[in-house]
Amino acid sequence: MLRLLFQSLESLFGAGLDDVARVVYLAGALVLVLAALRPLWGLWADWRTERAGLEERWVGVCPACGLSGPLWRGTCSACGADRRLPWVVRWRTRGSARLASSLAWRRAARAYRLAGALLFAGVAGSALWTIVSPPGGGALHRLFAGLGFLALAAAGVAFGRALGPARRGIVARAGHVLHGMAAVGLLAVLLFLASAARPPAEPRLVALAPRPNAEGEVGIEYLQLDHELLGFRRIVPLAYLGAERTPVELATPVRWA
């Protein structure tokens, strides 16, 4: 099943699969980095806005005086006329005004947002470190890894909106939670495909410790043992011969071969 999927993708993109996979991989990594830095940028912008003496308020046009200005508890801030807002809107504006004017609430909300931003930044950094595609990882592995970066960025944005301190209704938050769960499920599928598409590593049969000589060669000094009666023969390596002679560490012989 997976082999059929991989063959279909290879036949679909043809010779351009490597270029497409590289573009998707780099774009996914860039989007993930931007998604991780966006909450930190928002926190810095809000801090600079507060340092400038600006606050967030509900603004509307007063039918009595015709001026556009902020509302305070359902009344116009210019003439003091009652806007006669519905009780739901009046309750919402009163609550937001109280919270916006509370220094403790603003500090607690900023600390909560900072903790969430750092958590997502840590997850994104861990993903970039562990899902990174090596040069020999293959085009399909890079393709699925890049799509996985995009899915992780979408999940982070969705959960950030669902759990953030911004004013959102329960229906909107539930919708963001569903979007985040769908992105996490897609991420799991893409990680599985990336792991399956990664070519197996070539096993290393032997590692030569000595450096080669001037001709770029490494020789072996060995001892050949012959059993005259039984006709057995054993070759015992003694040392590597390169730029210098490096003895070979041998275990105790077990049997004749």
pLDDT per residue over 190-205, tens digit each?
A: 888 888 877 666 655 4
Report the pLDDT value the prediction gives residue 81, as an integer from 0 to 100.
76
Higher pLDDT pick, 46 / 231: 46
Phi then psi dihedrals of residue 119, to 5 deg = -65, -45
Higher pLDDT pick, 216 / 4: 4
Please say whether the beta carbons of 69 and 62 come within 8 A: yes
Q: What angle do CA 134, 139, 142 make, to 5 degrees?
A: 55
Q: Is the pLDDT of residue 27 over 90?
A: yes
Report the pLDDT value the prediction gives residue 255, as an integer from 0 to 100.
55
Question: Amino acid identity of 8?
Answer: S
Name the band, by pLDDT with cuts 50, 70 and 90, for residue 153: very high
Q: Is the pLDDT of residue 123 over 80?
A: yes
C-alpha distances in Å from residue 192, one per residue of 2, 145, 189, 197, 231: 10, 10, 5, 9, 55
User: How far is the C-alpha of 120 from the C-alpha of 33, rounded, in Å?
Assistant: 10
Phi then psi dihedrals of residue 202, to 5 deg = -75, 130
Higher pLDDT pick, 189 / 128: 189
pLDDT above 70: percentage of residues in the chain? 74
pLDDT above 90: percentage of residues in the chain? 16
Q: Is the pLDDT of residue 75 over 80?
A: no
Report the pLDDT value the prediction gives residue 180, as an integer from 0 to 100.
92
Name the band, by pLDDT with cuts 50, 70 and 90, for residue 184: very high
Write the CB contacts of 241 (distance below 8 Å, at least 6 apart in sequence). Answer: 210, 213, 218, 219, 220, 221
DSSP state of 121: H
**Rounded average pLDDT over 23-47:** 89
> Among candidates 183, 193, 143, 144, which has minimal Cα distance to 161?
183
Q: What is the pTM of this model?
A: 0.63
Higher pLDDT pick, 59 / 162: 162
User: How far is the C-alpha of 76 from the C-alpha of 64, rounded, in Å?
Assistant: 9
